């Protein structure tokens, strides 16, 4: 009866450790998932912000290209009208005016493309740095939580194994004690038996 109660208590303690380990895994996984849920939108927002800003640069570039083309056409029309008014509206002069307007337009467009490229590089560098910081913080937070989960489980598992090891030691000591008592009992039984001398019992003459 005593042994049964002891076994029940031991089973309850071991079951308690198992429940703590299960709870630790559940809470650890929840904490890990919460961190993911918190950081993933931040990372996604950093990517979306970069795309928005790059899109704005592209919109600005398209608008400026269109403006340059319109200005070039206006300047060409004004130059041709001026030449005609001065009696210089022949083909040679018109072609020269067109080449000059086209050259000036291309020069301004090249300057615009250089400016747009610098804006893209600066924007990409800034937002990429912010995005990398988010990823780094995310990785560190998730790694820390993962290591904490493992540490907690190892601690509980160690306590559980230590308790089981203590039970096993108690069983070994009990078995040795039983064996020792049995051996002592046998020696006492032998010592209480008939004494003999040279193969004859003490009752013989």
Q: How confident is the model at residue 204 (pLDDT cuts 50, 70, 90)?
A: very low
Of 14, 20, 31, residue with least CA distance to 153: 20
What's the mean per-residue pLDDT of the chain?
79
- Give Cα 24 distance to the centre of its chain: 19
> Is the predicted pLDDT of residue 63 greater than 90, yes or no?
yes
Q: pLDDT per residue over 157-196, tens digit each?
A: 888 888 888 877 776 666 666 666 665 655 565 555 555 5
> Is the predicted pLDDT of residue 127 greater than 90, yes or no?
no
Q: How confident is the model at residue 200 (pLDDT cuts 50, 70, 90)?
A: very low
Confidence (pLDDT) at 42: 80
Report how far residue 102's alpha carbon sits from residue 76's, in angstroms, rounded to the nearest whole number.
9
Confidence (pLDDT) at 190: 53
- Give Cα 13 distance to the centre of its chain: 35
DSSP string, 88-107: --SHHHHHHHHHHHHHHHHH
Q: What angle do CA 103, 108, 109 make, to 5 degrees?
A: 95
Q: Which residues are 41's β-sheet partners?
A: none
Q: How confident is the model at residue 197 (pLDDT cuts 50, 70, 90)?
A: very low
> Is the predicted pLDDT of residue 205 greater than 50, yes or no?
no
Q: What angle do CA 43, 62, 80 make, to 5 degrees?
A: 170
Report how far residue 51's alpha carbon sits from residue 45's, in angstroms, rounded to the nearest whole number.
10
pTM: 0.46
Question: 134, 98 in Cβ contact below 8 A?
Answer: no
Helix axes 2-85, 91-191, angle to 10 degrees: 170
> Is the predicted pLDDT of residue 4 greater than 80, yes or no?
no
Confidence (pLDDT) at 1: 67
Confidence (pLDDT) at 179: 60
> Is the predicted pLDDT of residue 113 greater than 80, yes or no?
yes
Please give the biggest Cα pair distance in the chain: 172
């Amino acid at each position: 009866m005593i042994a049964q109660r002891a076994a029940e208590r031991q089973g309850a303690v071991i079951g308690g450790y198992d429940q703590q380990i299960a709870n630790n895994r559940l809470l650890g996984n929840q904490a890990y998932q919460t961190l993911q849920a918190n950081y993933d939108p931040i990372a996604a927002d950093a990517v979306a912000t970069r795309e928005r800003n790059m899109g704005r640069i592209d919109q600005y570039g398209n608008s400026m290209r269109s403006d340059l083309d319109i200005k070039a056409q206006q300047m060409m029309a004004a130059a041709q009208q001026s030449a005609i008014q001065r009696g210089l509206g022949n083909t040679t002069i018109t072609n020269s005016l067109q080449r000059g307007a086209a050259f000036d337009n291309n020069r301004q467009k090249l300057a615009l493309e250089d400016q747009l490229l610098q804006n893209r590089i600066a924007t990409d560098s800034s937002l990429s740095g912010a995005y990398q910081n988010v990823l780094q913080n995310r990785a560190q937070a998730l790694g820390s939580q993962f290591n904490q989960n493992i540490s907690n489980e190892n601690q509980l598992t160690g306590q559980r194994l230590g308790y089981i090891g203590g039970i096993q030691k108690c069983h070994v000591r009990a078995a040795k004690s039983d064996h020792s008592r049995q051996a002592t009992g046998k020696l006492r039984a032998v010592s209480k038996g008939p004494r003999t001398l040279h193969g004859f019992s003490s009752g013989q003459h």
